[in-house]
């Protein structure tokens, strides 16, 4: 038996979440049939800004209901068996006129990246962008590594190649890794580290579409003091 949290006063909040629709920090599932697959969503939430998974809710927002014990077992397997490191989460149960909805809350993790073990034994990390769960690329993996081991910077300094790449982004707008590489002309490792550091400093932002990841200058950078 799982130790669910029951909070009848939170039902109105759940209705409000459903009305918002799916997004970066919210996902609906009719039911969970594959623990390994749902681990990707948990990984994406933990690796990004955290999020809430509502199980027993259709994509349309209609409450369909589930067996909370069965779904909780699948979620626990996803978080503990198929994720490395394990993903911390909390489970809340809500009764909507006899239809149960399982609310899974996943906080943003301080142990990024959380990897998901695939059937081919290859582990992948996932990232959440809008309402999409997508495999993280090398730049994001490097970014998370930098945040785990931050370097002290007294001032920002760039090589001529890096300045050219920054000017290219300022002038041309969102560009892919390969497009930036043509201007920077550095190695794969050099450009990966360069873009990851720019993300860490909030100089650039990362975006995603069906064409893949792209990078753009952050119009509202967070000013940080480096001492």
User: Does a structural domain hold residue 225?
Assistant: no
The residue segments making up the domain with residue 104 are: 5-134
Amino acid 101: pLDDT? 94
Q: Both 73 and 39 in a single domain?
A: yes
Q: Are 152 and 122 part of one and the same domain?
A: no
Say if 226 falls within a structural domain: no
Distance from CA of residue 163 to its chain's centroid?
29
Residues 28 and 129 in one domain: yes
The confidence score (pLDDT) of residue 153 equals 55
| Whether residue 180 sits in one domain with residue 125 | no
50 and 155 fall within a common domain: no
CATH number for the domain harbouring residue 103: 3.30.950.30
CATH assignment at residue 195: 1.10.10.10
Give me the average pLDDT of each 10-residue run along the chain (227 residues). 68 89 96 95 98 95 93 96 96 91 96 90 93 97 88 73 96 96 95 95 95 93 48
Q: Are residues 95 and 27 in the same domain?
A: yes
Q: Among all chains, which residue has been given the structure tokens 């009764």? A: 95
C-alpha–C-alpha distance, residues 130 and 123, integer Å: 23
* Paired sense of beta strands 99-106 and 51-55, if any: antiparallel
Whether 222 maps to a domain, the answer reads no
What pLDDT does 225 receive?
A: 40
Say whether both 104 and 167 belong to one domain. Answer: no
| Domain end position, chosen among 101, 134, 167 | 134
Q: Look at the chain and report how many structural domains it folds into.
A: 2
Q: How far is CA 81 from CA 35, 38, 114, 118, in A?
A: 9, 12, 12, 11
Residue 170 and residue 217 in contact, taking contact as beta carbons nearer than 8 Å: yes
Q: Which residues of 184-222 are buried (b: 16+ CB within 10 A; e: fewer)?
A: bebeeeebbbbbbbbbbbebbbbeeeeeebbbebeeeee
Question: Do 193 and 117 belong to one domain?
Answer: no
Pair (84, 157) in one structural domain: no
On whether the pTM is more than 0.85, the answer is: yes
* CA separation for the pair 93, 102 (Å, rounded): 5
Contact 206, 198 (CB under 8 A): no
Nearest residue to 165 via CA among 178, 141, 184? 184
Are 119 and 40 in contact by the 8 Å Cβ rule? The answer is no
- 77 part of a folded domain: yes
């Amino acid at each position: 038996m799982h130790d669910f949290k029951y909070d009848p006063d939170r039902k109105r909040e759940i209705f409000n979440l459903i009305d918002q629709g799916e997004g970066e920090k919210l996902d609906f599932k009719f039911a969970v049939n594959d623990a390994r697959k749902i681990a990707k969503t948990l990984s994406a939430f933990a690796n990004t800004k955290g999020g809430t998974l509502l199980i027993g809710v259709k994509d349309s927002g209609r409450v369909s209901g589930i067996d909370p014990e069965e779904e909780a077992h699948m979620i626990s397997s996803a978080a503990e068996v198929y994720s490395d490191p394990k993903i911390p989460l909390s489970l809340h149960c809500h009764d909507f006129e006899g239809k149960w909805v399982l609310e899974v809350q996943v906080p943003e993790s301080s142990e990024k990246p959380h990897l998901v073990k695939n059937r081919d034994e290859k582990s992948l990390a996932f990232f959440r962008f809008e309402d999409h769960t997508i495999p993280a690329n090398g730049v994001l993996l490097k970014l998370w590594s930098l945040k785990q081991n931050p370097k002290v910077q007294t001032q920002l300094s760039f090589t001529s190649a890096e300045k050219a790449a920054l000017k290219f982004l300022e002038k041309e707008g969102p560009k892919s890794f390969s497009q930036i590489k043509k201007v920077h002309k550095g190695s794969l490792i050099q450009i990966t580290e360069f873009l990851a550091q720019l993300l860490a400093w909030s100089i650039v932002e990362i975006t995603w579409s069906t064409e893949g990841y792209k990078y753009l200058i952050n119009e509202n950078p967070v000013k940080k003091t480096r001492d």
